[in-house]
Amino acid sequence: MNEEFHYKNGELFCEGVPVQQIAAKVGTPVYIYSQNHFLKQHQAIVEGFKEVDPLVCYSVKANSNLGLLRAMALAGSGFDAVSKGEVYRALRAGADPQKIVFAGVGKQPEEIDYALEQGILMFNVESEAELETISKAAAKRKCEAPIALRINPDVDPKTHKYISTGKRENKFGIDIARAEACAKRIKELKNLRLRGLHLHIGSQITYADRHAEAIDKVTPFINSLKKQDFPLEFLNVGGGFGISYHPGEGLPIGDFAKAMAPKIKALGLKMLCEPGRFISGNGGIMLTQVIYDKPSGDKHFLIVDGAMNDLLRPSIYQAFHLAWPVKSPGLPDGAALANNSPLTDKNLGKDAVTYDVVGPICESGDYFALGRKLPKMNDGELLCVFSAGAYGYTMASNYNTRGRPPEVIVDGDKYWVSRQREKLEDLIRGERLTPSETFSAKA
């Protein structure tokens, strides 16, 4: 994983805290985050792209934990939101509204009005129809709305089809062939201020040339806008920087910077980016406890107390997450998912077992790992699911009427519960057994 999650004396630590202590205090399943990982990743982008004066707008959807958003805001980060709720969340965490960008293909008038009222940096506009809606909202408020045009550059990000967003067949962004018509309409509408262009071609991208190609595709349009005297300030390159789920898989941020920064500099624009996974993915783990080992035919089901409602990625994307016991005697001290990961077959021990690691939910797709060789595990032992900091808790649900797990933030040798485990009464909040008021169809 990284040095924030590491094994020492045969047990897993998050920064300076043995994670078993956290499980003993708050139970399992539980999400555990390394605050310093989030801050370190943010700083890596700031440093890596310093020649283009980057504004990092952390993508709230990846991990919207308030305590972490606050730490990010204090470190100077901005935020990328895709709903009124995310704008609200970022502001409650202490975000500077002038560092909030708002994307999404279906922004509604009420959401736009709220964001205008808060004075956000800009809207990333995804269609011609949205230009009209934002213009109307700005007219009502008698203000000018700051916008960027999100262009769909028709670039293949070479990632999972569900997280590819920059190909023509995807619903996101404005077809580049229609971009000039949008520019003309912006001039006519008067109360829109075009501050930049926006690109976001997909997530978990591990080829820097994908981002570079997207920039190349919009360069002629940027040059045309400049000729038309649009006061462009930003090129927002979106998110998508990939991370290591498998040992050694990610790309150093320097490789992205090398491919992208000179192109942005040549355009004379400030870089804005919206990383989510890169900041949060390897900053979180999910701990789960073994309930039963169930041999069946020639395999074993390892039934754990976490489930697809807690961490959905394996079920919907067939995503790989490294999993390993929290106690692993004999494991060499060191990083868990670096290139030289010690979590390999040679540390399985003599009695390794091939498991399907599954949850208690009534779906065959409820799993964390299939056919995975692990050291033999006993009932009550803790298993760590790594790289769970992005699109983990934010996709959690109450399916099967299960309470969502707590979230714990570690900072050095201290930790705190930033979100409580949901209790039984939380699971029926807002529901009624009988009508409190009845409405008639005839009324």
Ligand X SMILES: Cc1ncc(COP(=O)(O)O)c(C=O)c1O
Contact set with ligand X (CB under 6 A): 59, 62, 80, 103, 200, 203, 238-241, 274-278, 390
Looking at beta carbons only, is 217 or 372 nearer to ligand X? 217
Closest distance of CB 35 from ligand X, Å: 18
Looking at beta carbons only, is 200 or 300 nearer to ligand X? 200
Closest distance of CB 8 from ligand X, Å: 30
Helix (H) or strand (E) holding 102: strand 100-102
Looking at beta carbons only, is 70 or 211 nearer to ligand X? 211
Residue in the structure block whose two tokens are 């020639």: 298
Side-chain-side CA neighbours of 223 within 13 Å: the count stands at: 8
Beta strands in 129-240 (DSSP E): 145-152, 174-175, 192-198, 234-236
Instruction: Determine phi and psi for 84, rounding to 5 degrees.
Output: -60, -40
Closest distance of CB 225 from ligand X, Å: 21
Closest distance of CB 150 from ligand X, Å: 7
Three-state DSSP class for residue 29:
coil
Q: How does strand 382-385 pair with strand 323-325?
A: antiparallel
Distance separating alpha carbons of residues 33 and 286, to the nearest angstrom: 9
Q: Determine which one of 57, 143, 362, 384 is catalytic.
A: 362
Distance separating alpha carbons of residues 62 and 68, to the nearest angstrom: 11
Q: Determine the residue with CB nearest ligand X.
A: 239
Distance separating alpha carbons of residues 53 and 271, to the nearest angstrom: 6
Looking at beta carbons only, is 374 or 388 nearer to ligand X? 388
Angle at 277 between CA 381 and CA 220, to 5 degrees: 165
Closest distance of CB 241 from ligand X, Å: 6
Q: Let me know if 57 is a catalytic residue.
A: no
Which residues form the catalytic set?
A: 362
